Amino acid sequence: MSAIVVFIDQVAAPGKLHAIHHQLLTLARGAGEPVAVVAGPVSAGLAAELGSYGVSRVLSSEQAELGEFLVAPKADLVAQAAAAVSAAAVLVDNGAQGKEIAARVGVALDAGVITDAVALTSDGGALVAHKSVLAGSYTVQARATTAVAVISVKSHSVEASPAAEASVPVVEAVTVAFAPGSLGARVTQRTPRAVSGRPELEDARIVVAGGRGVDGDFGPVEELADVLGAAVGASRAAADAGWISHAAQVGQTGKKVSPQLYISVGISGAIQQKAGMQTSKLIVAVNKDLDSPIFEIADFGIVGDLFKVLPQAVEEIKRRRA
């Protein structure tokens, strides 16, 4: 069976796997033999977790360069490990770093790169990536025409499932030969972002997003999000105003989300905002201006004041649950 490499970063926050890693390993197991390539330490717990997803081979490096420089050394690791195991495919997460690793691995292995995959299927042994393009207006299927396919995969492209039988992985330490150009961009400072305790935007089943209409007060948006177990999103106007972190921004230059439900609050629905949310299953909009473009795509629209509508909805949900 051909090796399918899954990249797992353990440099900045070592210890355990993320949901996306479970998903990538599940995809890899379906397509061949999953091989985990780990940047950073492989603790006993991590090895056991990898084993529970059917990984029997782990290639890891703890070279300091992996953490000291931006992206490129990790890409060197992935490319060299993938070559060493004659991988048929390399799977990485679809974050900024994941996509860039995919890009550089593509150059190193002379391989086709596909980003933003939302599902992987197999056609005669070749991996077919399904993705949505042009701000969600098309869905396409793409594949690499090269011996190795490099694919960055979005969260939720598969339901993660542990292997029927856990394996005990063999961990091999590898030494990466870093390209000179890879050791140029030094990370001189790294500040962890504050954690909200709410679900991640890309993982959430429900997103409640606020815009300029919240006028500096995300309270009502957060309260509705919390009773629904939802993630909090924002328009660029709200993030630019400093009312919420840019990490919460949804849109062309922010996160692309497609939850079961997107509740848009005090957001006009500019084209750049729509680009990040219009593939949501259901869209609810609360906006006091009936002419806002968001109403053109909302399944349920409320023309009203968010400071009245949201607290009332929150009370009603609590009442019905009581």
Partner 1 sequence: MNIVVLVKYVPDTQFDRHLTGENHLLDRNESILSELDEYALEAALALTDERGGAKAGNNVTALTLGPAAAAAAVKKSLQIGATAGLHISDEALAGSDASATSLVLAAAIRTLGPVDLVITGMASTDGETSIIPAQLAARLGLPQLTFASSLELEGATVTVRRDGDDFSEEIQATLPVLVSVTDQANEPRYPNFKGILAAKKKKVTTLSLAELGVPVDAVGLVGSKTTVTDAAERPARTAGVIITDSGDAGIQLVDFLAAQKLF
Ligand X SMILES: Cc1cc2nc3c(=O)[nH]c(=O)nc-3n(C[C@H](O)[C@H](O)[C@H](O)COP(=O)(O)OP(=O)(O)OC[C@H]3O[C@@H](n4cnc5c(N)ncnc54)[C@H](O)[C@@H]3O)c2cc1C
Token couple for 151: 């694919």
Distance of CA 321 to the CA centre of its chain: 32
The answer to the question of residue 26 lying near ligand X (CB under 6 A) is no
**166 versus 179: smaller Cβ distance to partner 1:** 179
Q: Which does 80 bind (CB under 5 to 8 A by kind): ligand X, partner 1, none?
A: none
Q: Can you tell me which of 35, 77, 113, 257 binds partner 1, judged by CB under 8 A?
A: 113
Is residue 146 within the footprint of partner 1 (CB under 8 A)?
Answer: yes
Distance in angstroms (rounded) separating the CA atoms of residues 184 and 173: 24
As a whole number of angstroms, the longest Cα–Cα distance in the chain is 63
Q: Does 268 bind ligand X (CB under 6 A)?
A: yes
Site residues for ligand X, window 241-260 (CB under 6 A)?
Answer: 249-254
**Shortest reach from residue 104's CB to partner 1, in Å:** 5
25 binds, among partner 1, ligand X, none (CB under 5 to 8 A by kind): none
Per CB under 8 A, 304 contacts partner 1: yes
| Shortest spacing between CB 85 and partner 1, in angstroms | 20
* Site map (CB under 8 A) of partner 1, residues 122-141, x = contact: ------x---xxxxxxxxxx
User: Shortest distance, CB of residue 234 to partner 1, whole angstroms?
Assistant: 14
Asked if 288 interacts with ligand X (CB under 6 A), we say: yes
β-strand pairing of 57-61 with 33-39: parallel
Give CA separation, 30 vs 3, 147, 152, in Å: 11, 18, 16
Q: Report in angstroms how near the CB of residue 72 gets to ligand X at its nearest.
A: 27
Q: Residue 272 interacts with partner 1 (CB under 8 A)? A: yes
Containing 60, the helix (H) or strand (E) segment is strand 57-61
Q: CB neighbours (10 Å) of residue 217?
A: 13
d(CA 148, CA 88) in angstroms, rounded, equals: 5
Q: Residue 77: enclosing H or E segment and its boundaries?
A: helix 72-84
Residues 6+ apart with CB under 8 A from 216: 241, 243
95 binds partner 1 (CB under 8 A): yes
Task: Answer for the pair 186, 68: CB distance below 8 angstroms, yes or no.
Answer: yes
**For ligand X, the closer CB: 50 or 248:** 248
Give the C-alpha separation, 308 to 322, whole Å: 21
Binding residues with partner 1: total (CB under 8 A): 96
Binders in 163-192 for partner 1, by CB under 8 A: 179-181, 184-192
89 binds ligand X (CB under 6 A): no
> How many CA atoms are closer than 13 Å to the CA of 156, on its beta-carbon side?
11
Nearest to 219 by CA among 232, 229, 204: 232
Residue 220's binding partner among partner 1, ligand X, none (Cβ under 5 to 8 angstroms by kind) is: none
If one asks whether residue 161 binds ligand X (CB under 6 A), the answer comes out as no
Closest contact distance (angstroms) between CB of 115 and ligand X is 18
Judged by CB, which is closer to partner 1: 177, or 290? 290
